[in-house]
Amino acid sequence: MNAVVRENQPSSVLVSLRNLNKHYGDFTAVDNISLEIRDGEFLTFLGSSGSGKSTTLSMLAGFETPSSGEILVSGSSLINVPPHKRDIGMVFQRYSLFPHLNVRDNIEFPLTLRKMTTAERQKRVDAMLKLVQLEAFAHRRPAQLSGGQQQRVAIARALVYEPRILLMDEPLGALDKKLREDLQDELRHLHRRLGITIVYVTHDQEEAMRLSQRIAIFSHGQIVGLGSGYDLYQSPPNAFVASFLGNSNFLRVKSVANASASFEGQSLTTVPVGGLTAGQDVLLMLRPEKIRALSVEAAQQTALPSGWNEISAKVREIVFLGESLTCNVVTPGGTELTVKSLGSGLQNVQPGADVRVRWAAADACLYDQWNDADLSKGAGAH
């Protein structure tokens, strides 16, 4: 990451990607990626399809050769090492088990390619079968297993030779929601128990949040956000990440002074941001659950806490979603905001009513640079 982290944990970096590029003709699939993967961490590449995450994973596995750049594992280059000598485990999206071998032979396959006694092989395969709870299915062919069972075999086959790194390319994409969540929990426990480094690729942000310690968000072949799910969600480094991860409201405001801005003529308090000139266009991002909407009467009764902002708006629509209530409001200037409320605070509000919208200045994020295309969902693909 940076010098400070490295000094504190000298052995912590396992894989370094340095200025990695992959071009297909004119098309740039991976655009100058640099990333350090720590030993034992669960890192997820998150991005929409075509964002370069799978290509990066393929280069790590050795199925694709980088156009330029370097891949280092424990300090030595992997660029000229063929896949079978990389000592990496991989779980594929469509499982890719060997259809001609039964479950036990599938798991044993990597071991038969290594110098190992039969007893040792048996012991390891048995341990793996137990780990993925498939002892009873050891003699079945892959075609006789359900999708979830096949994926567990694939995981066992990737783990049995104790690789340094486990790559997973959307491994749960083909499974239904319930099974996916069960396997996500299993995977998280497995990672905690084995302490193996896992690089996981997915386009499902909930899955990324649920599984990983760090998430790398890919867009147009670049990593546009890197950090824990919490950090990326609470303080996104840029407008794209804010829009891509979870739901977000964007307010176009004008900077007035260091810690104040104006929105549709109303003055707002913001967190102090350096480097802004007065009159500059700034994008203010608010998570829907950080905003409160109060009816006009309720707003009069409750004083505005210090450090909070209040603007007026009109309710357009209220949707009840079980655990939460979502309210769409429109400001006089036509900016739409989504307010998400877990409690019963919005109960008295009807569509068409005037409301006061409040938020704490500390909960808003400010961006002085953004691309309008990034603000819509589904951006990030080529």
Partner 1 sequence: MTALRTTLVDTATSGKARLASDRWRGAPYLLPALIFLGLFFLAPLIGLLLRGILEPTPGLSNYAQLFANSAYSKVLFNTFAVAGLVTLISLLLAFPLAWAITLVPRGWGRALLGIVLLSMWTSLLARTYSWLVLLQASGVINKVLMAFGVIDQPLEMVHNLTGVVIGMTYIMIPFIVLPLQATMSAIDPMVLQAGSICGASPWRNFFRVFIPLCRPGIFSGALMVFVMSLGYYVTPALLGGAQNMMLPEFIVQQVQSFLNWGVASAAAALLIVITLALFYVYLKLQPESPAASATAR
Give me the residues that bind partner 1 (CB under 8 A), please. 61-63, 82-90, 92, 94, 96-100, 109-110, 112-114, 141-143, 154, 157-158, 161
Nearer to partner 1, 100 or 193 (CB): 100
Own/partner pairs, 223-231, CB within 8 angstroms, 24+ separation: 223/33, 223/35, 224/380, 226/35
Shortest distance (Å) from residue 26 CB to partner 1: 19
Q: Which is nearer to partner 1, 114 or 193 (CB)?
A: 114
Q: How far is the CB of 100 from partner 1 (least distance, A)?
A: 5
Distances (CA, A) of 224 to 1, 54, 127, 172: 15, 16, 40, 24
In angstroms, the Cα distances linking 195 to 21, 80, 134, 190, 219 are 30, 27, 22, 8, 29
Note whether 107 and 160 are within 8 A (CB).
yes
CB of 14 to partner 1, least distance (A): 17
Nearer to partner 1, 110 or 246 (CB): 110
Burial of 192 (0-12, 13-18, 19+ CB in 10 A): exposed
50 vs 142, beta carbon nearer partner 1: 142
Identity at 76, one-letter amino acid code: S
Cβ nearer to partner 1, comparing 148 with 237: 148
**Mutual angle of helices 103-112 and 118-131, in 10-degree steps:** 130
Residue 245 beta carbon to partner 1: minimum distance, rounded to whole angstroms: 30
Q: How far apart are CA 106 and CA 99, in angstroms?
A: 9
Smallest gap from residue 121 Cβ to partner 1 (A): 13
Q: Which is nearer to partner 1, 95 or 370 (CB)?
A: 95
Candidates 40, 88, 37, 93; CA nearest to 62 is 88
CB of 169 to partner 1, least distance (A): 10
